A and B are shown apart, each in its own frame.
Chain A
Amino acid sequence: MEWGTKIGIFFACSTLPLYISGLVPACVKVEDIQEYWRLSPAEFSAKAGTPIGPGVWISALGQSDNLAALPVLFFCVLPIVAYGAMFPGTIKSRDRLYALFMLAEIALIILAFIGFV
């Protein structure tokens, strides 16, 4: 988790300048962002013509604003990695209840990720 956070921060520092510089095209140019950041996400999407929803950002990774979001989204995956790393040890020690808790937590995060909850 410690290294994951450092990696995430490193990539965040690398991808945000791409967005700000305009070197890579964005869904919404950084110069125009002030028109949008007062709007709700639904209003933003309607005005900018950008789709929202589970996984939509994956298909738009070529846009620099979505690319800049990627390192932050990486943080949201790290807890699954951490539990995944601990899970075999829990099974080995036959701690079934805690193994079930961990599986439930991993399932919950995945369900939240895919927008099922």
Chain B
Amino acid sequence: MEGRPLEERARIERAQGGDAGAYETLVRQYQDVAFRTAYLITGTAAEAEDAAQEAFVKAWYALGRFRPNAPFRPWLLRIVANEARNRRTAAGRRVNLALRARERDPDGDAAPSPEAVALRAEQRAMLLRAINRLRVDDRLVIGYRYFFDLSEAEMATALDCARGTIKSRLSRALGRLRDVLRAEDLTDDDLRGLENG
């Protein structure tokens, strides 16, 4: 893992020199997070795919402005999010995001009771429904922080804002999520159940 950033930097520098093969490896490395970020914004897989693809192409042509020793992921995500927002705006319709939880593989867990599994599934679904109901900005800030595990510095780059504002943006997003959760009659215990699930 120690050598990974250096290796990535080398690929970025090669890509900046016009090596499309090196760039393709970067696309493969980041296409998951790019597509998922776009999906959080657009709400449809087709739009998210188009946005991600367009963003990777634009990033290729913008590589000359990228500093090789800067983190690539947030720089890329900023382009992805812009592209996804543009598509969402151009579509002129509000597609409701429908985040769902994966079906769990029962063999992977320490044999919880069927009731416990069903309960946690319901709690997960309620939390995701609450997230679905948030505004795009709030969803994105929560997604970056808790789903994709971006640092505050990375979030500042990805959201194109001052690092000092990240905490307050996150706090406001959590506040609005809290309001939705209360309306959904969820409890702290429900959420604690998720942690252990």
Q: Do A and B come from one complex?
A: no
Q: Which residues of B approach A to under 8 Å, CB–CB?
A: none
Q: Which residues of A approach B to under 8 Å, CB–CB?
A: none
